[in-house]
Amino acid sequence: MFIHINSWPGAGKKTIGVLLASRLKARFVHNHHLLDLVDACCDRSDAQRQPLYDRVREATYECLAHRPVGEPLVMTNAIAKDEITSWAQICALARCRGDVFVPVVLTIDADENRIRLLDPHRTGSKLKSVQILDALRAKHELLVPLDIATTLVLDVSRLSPEVAADVIEAHLQRIPGISTGTVPSAP
């Protein structure tokens, strides 16, 4: 199975993803695994940043597409509704893997999102600016792929990471093919 967790910075994608991957014995690929490498090589204003990110993402997806059949994958991202190319690449990866594809969108109210964004446990290159978060939320809408039957939209505003992971696991158990071993087509 391929679980793709999409949400705003600070919503808890990594924390929930790590819990879920551990429970499912899945490979975990957090969007900052890719971004942190690029950030180590280029400043955000560097003209080489986006081309480098594109190459890192392409190499990562190529590698993941050829992982053993049946190896579960949990991946996180922050994809807006207008990022059609990024979403198409995720869907292509799901098709290549031949896995049950489960998009999970974590919604969160803006006030709780700001509180979590400022949590001192958020380390590394993760976004820590409430002003930038507010600008992102004002300008963009999260991609919610309701055309995919296995999609779960989960409001995590009042949920602990453990409870959110429990809800996602319960959702997985209701999807044909997850426990039976048959694999429906990805979009």
- Helix, strand or coil, per DSSP, at residue 5: strand
First to last CA, the chain: 14
> What is the rounded CA–CA span in Å between residue 77 and residue 88?
13
At 42 the pLDDT is 92
- Helix, strand or coil, per DSSP, at residue 45: coil
> What is the rounded CA–CA span in Å between residue 145 and residue 151?
7
CA-nearest of 4, 5, 10, 6 to 109 is 10
User: pLDDT digit string (tens) for 155-167?
Assistant: 999 999 999 999 9
> What is the rounded CA–CA span in Å between residue 182 and residue 5?
22
Q: Where are the domains of the chain?
A: 2-173
Main-chain dihedrals φ then ψ at residue 10, nearest 5 degrees? 90, 0
Residue ranges with strand state E in 20-72: 27-29
Q: Is the pLDDT of residue 142 over 50?
A: yes
At 167 the pLDDT is 98
Beta bridge partners of 165: none
Main-chain dihedrals φ then ψ at residue 54, nearest 5 degrees? -60, -40
User: pLDDT digit string (tens) for 23-79?
Assistant: 999 999 999 889 888 989 998 899 999 999 999 999 999 999 999 988 999 999 999
At 179 the pLDDT is 54
User: pLDDT digit string (tens) for 1-25?
Assistant: 999 999 999 999 999 999 999 999 9
Indicate the helix (H) or strand (E) that contains 186: none
User: pLDDT digit string (tens) for 78-134?
Assistant: 999 999 999 999 999 999 999 899 999 999 999 999 999 999 888 777 888 999 999
CATH number (3.10.28.10, 3.40.50.300, 3.90.1150.10, 2.40.30.10) of 2-173 reads: 3.40.50.300
